[in-house]
A and B are shown apart, each in its own frame.
Chain A
């Protein structure tokens, strides 16, 4: 059992890392990745919602009729999002302003509903929790990778600290919306190359 819990947790980081492997939840991954700081905030919000929804959905999985399950899932997820929204507005106001519309949009994040449908409604609470935690942290990880590249190359800083030498002109294209698409596509390409190499080694 313990091994299973660990396996469900770690699969979210490489093997099934959601935005990079399945192109799920790419909208927020593109939108809030101009700065590492906002990427971390968004990631934490998703981790919370995902854990909460996975635990609750798996707890009620035996009582919910199949026909209305999507409506029930969405209501549970939306409740989690409202909690995040209110807490962020009260205690992390600057972050709340930066993330803006992307906090309510967690409701329609494909990862959250995807995990509910694919995992939480078939598995016990403890496995669903570790699945949600792993998937959420994997999402955060991909956001941090993308935003690090964009912030370091685009603005020359990381988490607000200057890391590039004095007078770095900045590659402004990466900070603009089209740059997000291009860098995301290139990261996916790089991941495919690395995966192919690993597969060759193991075979």
Chain B
């Protein structure tokens, strides 16, 4: 139990997927100009990344490893993720229309979110068991969502005060803020 707790803290904060591992930066820059879309994107990624992580793990262990075709990993994973996103979109549209209306526009973007793919590959690279895969994917995605929401909140404040130097407006200041956030997250290093 304790090792899972450590894993959650490590994946969410200390080795945060966005700030320390540099994955999924495009949405952090792209969709954090408003708070609602950041929450929507975060929720959609948590959902898809967890499903993709576990599905890819199962496929790797039961098909690719058994047949000795590990070199196809990249090709298979990205197709699995693309299919999964499409599938989630269709199911959500039928089963939960309100949820679809809230998250729908973010779903196609997720296919090329390097964070989803990266988590799937990291699970295999670090030899996680099935439970570890589930926990790691979920915690990493929650870490991603947290950064997205924090960043959106900070940006709304910054835009409201309007005291950002003109050349740094928009993307540059977002990146610098992300750097500062990464520093404070790294401060949690002593916890584990």
Contact = CB atoms under 8 A, between A and B. Distances in A.
Is the A/B pair a real complex? yes
A180 B179 CA distance: 7
A184 B82 CA distance: 30
A87 B58 CA distance: 27
Contacts of B125: 101
A189 B167 CA distance: 5
B183 A78 contact: no
Interface size range on B against A: 35 or more
A107 B171 contact: no
Contacts of A101: 118, 121-122, 125
Nearest to A183: B179
Interface string A22-66: 011011101100000000000000000000000000000000000
A180 B22 contact: yes
Interface majority SS (helix, strand, loop, mixed), chain B: helix
Contacts of B22: 27-28, 30-31, 177, 180
A82 B23 contact: no
Contacts of B77: 104
Contacts of A71: 79, 82
Interface of B: 19-26, 29-30, 71-75, 77-79, 82, 111-114, 117-118, 121-122, 125, 165-168, 171-176, 178-183, 186
11 contacts: A74-B82, A75-B75, A82-B71, A85-B74, A108-B118, A113-B112, A178-B19, A181-B175, A185-B171, A185-B174, A185-B179
